[in-house]
């Protein structure tokens, strides 16, 4: 793991105790809806593909497990590997999944999303919520996700974007770059919420991310913007070439 990875890991370890509180507070609880939409889109795509319900799913950068739980609700037959490289996040994930009686279907896996500890073509679905932005280079992370996906499998990525034009873009940027870091620092006592807007500013725009996915062999790439362009979900289907 490079120095950037180590510093991201330290940062998420320090924010873990307040991560859920800040997520829900700073997004006005919309983060729950966004993850639910990702899971629902995965369900719609899987049904339209006619290949049956996915049985093996990877949640990459699972954090405290909210996406894994949304996927577990959407796919009642599936086993979900919830991978993260921060133990304090995974400890919270385990408590949450057990409290919701999903501990038998969601397995916490400690590992690096840039070097996934899984064989080629293991999963029918790979999903990530607010995880990809932390993985550098993004193209390497997409390639690794493609490697562990079966041909025809689904990749779904939920992450932040920056609204482009108009009053909403101005208001949102003021909130995101000025107000959010202050609230985040005040509650978490860490600099993680300065890192958040900085990492979003460096992350590919939705059309650029779609291009990157295409270059890594994903097909039928689509994305849906939400919150006036502040969040996007990308969906791609793993082609039949490659690992």
Q: Which residues bind ligand SAM (CB under 6 A)?
A: 5, 8, 12, 23, 35, 61-63, 66-67, 84-86, 89, 112-114, 129-131, 134-135
Shortest Cβ 194–ligand SAM spacing (Å): 14
Shortest Cβ 67–ligand SAM spacing (Å): 5
Q: Identify which of residues 62 and 209 has a Cβ nearer to ligand SAM in the complex.
A: 62
Residues 6+ apart with CB under 8 A from 121: 147, 148, 149, 150, 151, 243
Shortest Cβ 139–ligand SAM spacing (Å): 14
Q: Identify which of residues 42 and 114 has a Cβ nearer to ligand SAM in the complex.
A: 114
Q: Identify which of residues 212 and 231 has a Cβ nearer to ligand SAM in the complex.
A: 231
Rounded to an integer, what distance in angstroms lies between the CA atom of residue 83 and that of residue 66?
12
Shortest Cβ 121–ligand SAM spacing (Å): 20
Q: Identify which of residues 124 and 144 has a Cβ nearer to ligand SAM in the complex.
A: 144
Judge contact between 147 and 120, C-beta under 8 A.
Answer: yes
Q: Identify which of residues 85 and 203 has a Cβ nearer to ligand SAM in the complex.
A: 85
Shortest Cβ 28–ligand SAM spacing (Å): 15
Rounded to an integer, what distance in angstroms lies between the CA atom of residue 147 and that of residue 140?
10
CA 32, chain centre distance (Å): 12
Shortest Cβ 132–ligand SAM spacing (Å): 9
E-assigned strands of the chain? 56-60, 79-84, 106-110, 123-129, 149-160, 218-226, 231-238
Q: Identify which of residues 84 and 216 has a Cβ nearer to ligand SAM in the complex.
A: 84
Closest CA to 11 of 196, 197, 203: 196
Closest CA to 199 of 27, 56, 4, 24: 4
- The single residue listed with the structure tokens 């590997």 is 81
Closest-approach residue to ligand SAM (CB): 63
């Amino acid at each position: 793991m490079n120095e950037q990875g180590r510093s991201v890991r330290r940062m998420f370890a320090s924010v873990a105790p307040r991560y859920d509180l800040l997520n829900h507070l700073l997004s006005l609880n919309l983060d729950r809806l966004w993850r639910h939409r990702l899971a629902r889109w995965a369900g719609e795509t899987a049904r339209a593909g006619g290949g049956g319900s996915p049985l093996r799913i990877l949640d990459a950068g699972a954090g405290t497990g909210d996406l894994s739980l949304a996927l577990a609700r959407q796919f009642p037959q599936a086993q979900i590997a919830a991978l993260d490289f921060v133990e304090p996040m995974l400890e919270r994930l385990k408590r949450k999944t057990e409290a919701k009686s999903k501990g038998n279907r969601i397995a916490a896996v400690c590992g690096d999303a840039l070097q996934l500890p899984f064989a080629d073509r293991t999963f029918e679905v790979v999903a990530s919520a607010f995880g990809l932005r932390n993985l550098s280079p993004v193209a390497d992370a997409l390639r690794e996700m493609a490697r562990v996906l079966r041909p025809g499998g689904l990749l779904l990525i939920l992450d932040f974007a920056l609204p482009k034009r108009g009053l909403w873009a101005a208001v949102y940027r003021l909130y995101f770059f000025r107000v959010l870091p202050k609230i985040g620092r005040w509650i978490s006592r860490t600099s993680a919420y300065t890192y958040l807007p900085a990492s979003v500013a460096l992350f590919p725009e939705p059309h650029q991310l779609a291009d990157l996915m295409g270059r890594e062999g994903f097909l039928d790439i689509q994305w849906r913007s939400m919150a006036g362009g502040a969040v996007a979900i990308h969906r791609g289907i793993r082609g039949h070439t490659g690992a």
